[in-house]
Structure 1
Amino acid sequence: MASWKIKGQYMETCNCTMLCPCIWSNLAAQPTEGACEAAVALRIDEGSKDGVKLDGVCFVVMLHSPGPMGQGNMTVGLIVDDKASDQQVDAIRTIATGEAGGPMAALAPLVGKVAGIEKRPIRFTQDGLKFSLTAGELVDQACEGLESMVQPGQAIAIDNVAHPINSRLSLAKATRSKFHAFGVDWEDVTGTRNGHFAPFAWQG
């Protein structure tokens, strides 16, 4: 029996121009800007770990990769909603770092440094194909799904991808990315950068 389960909604933006080459190269390609900066945001709608309820907790995994992600040496930092208790923060930490198993455990060997944990007020919003997230002064990002012509109201999606969140991701353009956390400083509002969103269901 799984010791933890969480499910909810994810969104992210990164500094690569669309489409992020990590997706089609199975993490082998050079990021379009040389290094990758990404903010992977998750809203837990339902879940618990070892008896600790996690419903409603949001968190952000900040990623910096100095080159192709598959080569490793990534730096990651964790931002957790400031409303979370110490027990909830610790549960999220073990899940987000892969210590508790689950999808992030596959990414853990590529991480060279864990930069730390910050708590900030997090606001995660969704309006149709538009997503946005703020985490205090550290992250302010938004993306808009690329609408399908064959299924109006749904985003174009890409399947069978090597991504820890979900193997099926909706394609989106990042309309706003402002990262100032764990040594990452990146801002862009051009609408030319990459974004994704998807539901997620993890357990370990």
Structure 2
Amino acid sequence: MSWEIQGTYFENCSCDMICPCSTSGLTVAADTERCTVALAFHIDAGASDGVDLSGRTVCMLADAPAMMMDGGWKAALLVDDQASEEQTNALNAIFGGQVGGPLADLAPLIGEMVGGGPAPIEYADDGFTHTVRVGDMVDLSVQDFVSGLDPTGKGIRVSGVGFPADTLAAGTATVAKVNAFGLVWETSGKNSFSAPFAWSA
């Protein structure tokens, strides 16, 4: 199977600000006893073995130890309910790490898939404010930091991260509520990252 996708992504986690997990390549512990994270990916363009994936959205949820490399994550994968069966199968394989790409390295860290499946997903991104709602399970909105002292207005960036993109915009969640498959948290005011992404395998 060959595939490629590109689009925009954002996440919120339980760390206070500039998550040490992501920015250390998972070599430093989270700010909290458990790391809880929600990631939303919207595909602007892409395909897998001829199946068009453009316009589809995926939301990933995980509850992990503070040292994320210890593994044993509890995770869930929610796929846009507007996806066809072929699209859903392709997205599950890509985001489950079964067909190579960036998520293949993370898949062994997952100890239990606690749930998932099709869900109504609403995704919005204006470049600085990023929002996703997944039925009554996920309500997440984050805002990138933009300094009034920066004449470019581009916002604060963290480089050299690698996953899910090399350069991430740092920010904070204005709303962050998750209640899905026993994964329950409220992390408003905590760390967020956003970025365009492009993956293939």
Given the two structures, how large is their TM-score scaled by the length of structure 1? 0.92
One-letter amino acid matched to 2:12: T
Q: How does 1:72-87 map to 2 (within 5 A)?
A: 72-87=71-86
Q: Residue 104 of structure 2: SS of its match in structure 1?
A: helix
1:83-162 equivalence runs, <5 A: 83-148=82-147, 149-162=149-162
CA distance in 2, matches of 1:47, 1:26: 27
Structure 1 residue runs without a partner (length 5+): none
Q: Distance in 1 between matches of 2:59 and 2:161?
A: 21
Q: How does 1:1-204 map to 2 (within 5 A)?
A: 3-148=2-147, 149-163=149-163, 165-189=164-188, 191=189, 193-204=190-201
Partner SS, residue 17 of structure 1: coil
Query: Residue type matched to 1:12 in 2?
Result: E
Would the aligned equivalents of 1:166 and 1:198 in 2 still touch at CA under 8 Å? yes
Which AA in structure 2 matches 1:201?
A: A
Per-residue CA deviation, residues 103-162 of structure 1 (Å, 9 max, x unaligned), is 101111211122232221111112341111101111110111111433533121111114
Q: 1:167 deviation in Å?
A: 1.6
Is the 8 Å Cα contact of residues 129 and 153 (structure 1) preserved in structure 2? no
Give the letter for the 1:160 counterpart: G
Does the 8 Å contact 1:28/1:71 carry over to 2? Answer: no
Partners of 2:62 and 2:75 within 8 A in 1: yes
Comparing 15-24 with 87-96, greater Cα deviation is found at 15-24
User: C-alpha offsets along residues 12-52 of structure 1, whole Å, 9 cap, x if unaligned?
Assistant: 11111112120333212222221011111000000110111
Aligned-partner Cα distance in 2 for 1:146–1:70: 28
CA contact (8 A) 2:32 2:66 kept: no
Q: TM-score, normalised to structure 2's length?
A: 0.94
Amino acid corresponding to residue 195 of structure 1 in structure 2: S
2:59 and 2:78 in contact (8 A); partners too: yes
Q: What is the letter of the counterpart of residue 79 of structure 2?
A: V
CA contact (8 A) 2:44 2:54 kept: yes
Q: Please tell me the root mean square deviation across aligned C-alpha atoms, in Å.
A: 1.5
Q: Distance in 2 between matches of 1:96 and 1:115?
A: 15
Runs of 4+ deviating beyond 6 Å: none
Q: How many residues align?
A: 200
